Amino acid sequence: MEWNDETIAQLRDLWNEGLSTAEIGRRMSVSKNAVVGKAHRLNLPPRPSPIRRDGVSATSRTAAPRRVIGPTLPPLSATPPVVTAVAAPPPQRAAAPQTARPAVRAVPYTPSRLSTCCWPIGEPGTRSFRFCDSDATAGKPYCSAHAALAYVRVRDRRDEAAA
C-alpha cells in the first residue's frame, strides 16, 4: 500500500475516533499490522491495551519511585574484588520408590566403554563423578538395574480416570 497524504489523513481521523487497529485496517483495506506500523511512525498516541482490564495504559501510569530494601551496595572501585568459589550442597531429590538393585561399581568414564553401563553416578564436574561399571544390557546403554529406572512404561490416562 502506498501511504499518501489522503490515506494518512484518513488514518489520523479513524485513530482519533478511537477505533481499533483491526477496524481501521478493515475500513482502509490494509492489514492491522500496517496500521500499527504507520501509527507508530507517525507518533500517534498509543491505544489502550485490549488485554489489560483496568483500562490503564503503560504510558499513562506514572512510575513510582523505587524503594531500596536491604543494604545498599558500595560504589564500584577500579579493581574488582576477588571472589572465591564455595561448593554448594547437592540438590535434594524426592525419595523414589526403592527397588532391589544389584551392587554396582563406579568407575571414571573412558571412551572405550562400549559394553558397560553408562548410568552417571554423582554430580558432573566433581571428583566423585563416575559411571556404573556393570555389563550393559544388549541394545541398551544401561545395565538391567539402571535400564529398569530409565525405561518406564507410560501409564494410560484411562487407568487414572477409572481410579
Looking at residue 112, the DSSP 8-state letter turns out to be T
Q: What is the pLDDT of residues 78-117, one digit of tens each?
A: 566 666 666 667 777 666 555 555 555 555 555 555 688 8
- Give the model confidence (pLDDT) of 48-79 as tens digits: 666 766 655 555 555 566 665 656 666 655 56
| pTM for the whole structure | 0.33
Closest to 19 measured CA to CA, from 43, 42, 41, 48: 48
State the Cα torsion 4-7-8-13 to the nearest 10°. 160
Would the pLDDT of 32 be above 80? yes
